[in-house]
């Protein structure tokens, strides 16, 4: 996410309507293969496309309603999913001789903040592709009502990312947000009230990125560049055991970066603390300072706290009637917006490290995980310095694999939902989490909120 500095209060964020355009979708679908070719990204989704072709054929014939829940490890996921839906599924349907009465169209939820940092063109494309903008830091009733209506009506499948945001790790999943379960149960109740007997199914989709050819030489060169940037004495790479050497160097880079952040926040860590304990203390301290500024309670996991801070900052930056304020009040509003932006910047810095669990590499020390952690560190440094980190040399072309899991029926769970809503939603989210983890070929032992007791793990 690019860094943007706010100097003045701005008009309130308007609601972005959903304005799907088949022409825009057709143009984008033809451009996607060119985009992937230019990026060197190889897609593998034949089996997933065939399974979804069968599901979409049933959905378009009125046999079921579909809620699609996908893993969200990368900012490239939307275009990868778009290629699956607009190119992969039609090809699979022709291959299987399945009839799709209508072109593939979808409704999907996306964060209202994306057009702020990605720009109006991306926002326009999201609207024209069937996107429903939602404020994730507050109860966005209009967006939830639109998503609920689309899911219950069933003409278009609803697509959501239960993790809510990217964590940049293919082998570890962020905590899932319960909103997907609530939407599913709401829609199931609406179907029952309308005497509509169609089943409602949740289809999990796994997304996994990997490098096609491990390039340890390039990785070592990128580590050396980081070491020079942080003033660390460079270590010669061990040719016989690049995994061990890279791990030690990455740990040292992480420790130096963490030390700089602790100095920024005037933190004095206990020498007996592990790396995981120190980074957790930094995250809690950074969020607590922002929450104190906005008068927020520190409840929920890291992701939930970040979203509330973001919304509180937006409420102070984007204001109703700001252009009609008298000069003094406008100056004070600008002042408050700058202070809110400072706390938002602090939260964003913490957010860069929500994916660091302390055990990702030690669980599975392969090239892909080293490369992902390297990119996380490079992105964080680039964000701190307010300029993109130009990582050279290239780590090489990547491959992304999409897998379709077994459908999770919702309506058989309605009786349990009526008797104990919280328990029913928890059980549903547990089943969905297990389904998504099962689609991860090298899943870590826990979600990204886990910690470790071993010193110096990443």
179-193 and 141-153 are packed helices; what angle lies between their axes, rounded to 10 degrees? 50
Whether residue 280 sits in one domain with residue 235:
yes
The string of pLDDT tens digits covering residues 186-216 is: 999 999 999 999 999 999 999 999 999 999 9
Question: Please, what's the b/e burial string for 54-90 (b: 16 or more CB within 10 A of its CB; e: otherwise)?
Answer: ebbbbbbeeebbbbbbbbbbbebbbbbbbbbbbbbbb
- Taking the C-alpha atoms of 368, 370, 372 and 375 in order, what is their torsion angle to the nearest 10 degrees? -140
The string of pLDDT tens digits covering residues 274-315 is: 888 899 999 999 999 999 999 999 998 888 999 999 999 999
Whether residue 256 sits in one domain with residue 164:
no
pLDDT at 363 (0 to 100): 83
The string of pLDDT tens digits covering residues 138-152 is: 889 999 999 999 999
DSSP bridge partners of 403: 206
**386: enclosing H helix or E strand:** none
What is the pTM (predicted TM-score) of this model? 0.91
pLDDT at 311 (0 to 100): 95
**Do 9 and 319 form a contact (C-beta atoms < 8 A)?**
yes
Whether residue 168 sits in one domain with residue 274:
no
Residue ranges, the chain, pLDDT below 70: 1-5, 235-241, 357-358, 443-458
CA distance 370 to 378: 12
Question: Tokens representing 380?
Answer: 């964080």
Whether residue 308 sits in one domain with residue 160:
no
> What is the domain count for the chain?
2
On the 0-12 / 13-18 / 19+ scale of CB atoms within 10 A, 313 is: buried
The string of pLDDT tens digits covering residues 379-401 is: 999 888 888 888 889 999 999 99
pLDDT at 2 (0 to 100): 55
Whether residue 198 sits in one domain with residue 103:
yes
CA distance 307 to 347: 9
pLDDT at 337 (0 to 100): 95
Domain end position, chosen among 354, 384, 414: 384
**Do 161 and 70 form a contact (C-beta atoms < 8 A)?**
yes
pLDDT at 178 (0 to 100): 92
Domain span holding position 367: 216-384
**Do 317 and 340 form a contact (C-beta atoms < 8 A)?**
yes
Whether residue 164 sits in one domain with residue 51:
yes
């Amino acid at each position: 996410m690019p860094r943007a500095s706010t100097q003045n209060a701005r008009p309130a964020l308007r609601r972005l309507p959903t304005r799907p355009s088949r022409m825009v979708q057709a143009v984008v679908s033809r451009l996607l293969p060119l985009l992937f070719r230019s990026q060197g990204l190889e897609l593998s989704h034949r089996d997933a496309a065939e399974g979804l072709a069968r599901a979409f054929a049933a959905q378009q014939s009125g046999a079921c309603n579909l809620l699609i829940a996908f893993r969200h490890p990368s900012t490239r996921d939307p275009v990868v999913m778009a290629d699956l839906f607009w190119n992969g599924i039609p090809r699979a349907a022709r291959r299987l001789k399945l009839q799709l009465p209508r072109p593939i169209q979808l409704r999907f939820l996306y964060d209202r903040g994306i057009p702020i940092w990605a720009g109006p063109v991306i926002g326009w494309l999201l609207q024209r592709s069937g996107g429903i903008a939602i404020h994730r830091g507050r109860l966005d009733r209009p967006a939830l009502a639109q998503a609920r209506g689309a899911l219950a009506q069933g003409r278009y499948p609803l697509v959501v990312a239960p993790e809510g945001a990217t964590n940049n790790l293919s082998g570890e999943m962020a905590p899932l947000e319960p909103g997907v379960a609530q939407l599913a149960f709401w829609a199931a109740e609406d179907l029952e009230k309308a005497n509509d007997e169609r089943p409602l199914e949740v289809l999990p989709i796994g997304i996994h990125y990997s490098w096609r050819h491990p390039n340890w030489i390039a990785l070592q060169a990128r580590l050396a560049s980081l070491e020079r940037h942080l003033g660390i004495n460079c270590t010669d790479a061990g040719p016989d055991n690049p995994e061990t050497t890279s791990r030690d160097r990455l740990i040292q880079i992480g420790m130096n970066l963490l030390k700089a952040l602790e100095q920024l926040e005037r933190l004095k860590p206990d020498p007996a603390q592990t790396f995981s304990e120190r980074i957790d203390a930094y995250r809690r301290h950074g969020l607590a300072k922002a929450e104190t500024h906005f008068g927020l309670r520190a409840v929920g996991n890291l992701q939930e706290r970040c979203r509330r801070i973001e919304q509180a900052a937006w409420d102070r930056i984007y204001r109703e009637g700001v252009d009609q304020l008298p000069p003094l009040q406008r100056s004070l509003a600008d002042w408050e917006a700058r202070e809110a932006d400072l706390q938002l910047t602090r939260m964003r810095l913490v957010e860069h490290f929500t994916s660091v669990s302390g055990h990702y590499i030690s669980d599975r020390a392969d090239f892909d995980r080293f490369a992902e952690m390297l990119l996380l560190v490079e992105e964080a440094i680039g964000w701190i310095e307010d300029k993109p980190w130009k990582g050279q040399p290239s780590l090489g072309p990547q491959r992304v694999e999409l897998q379709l899991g077994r459908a999770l029926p919702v309506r058989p769970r309605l009786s349990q939902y009526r008797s104990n809503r919280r328990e029913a939603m928890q059980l549903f989210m547990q089943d969905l989490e297990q389904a998504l983890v099962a689609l991860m070929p090298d899943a870590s032992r826990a979600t990204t909120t886990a910690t470790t007791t071993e010193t110096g793990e990443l």
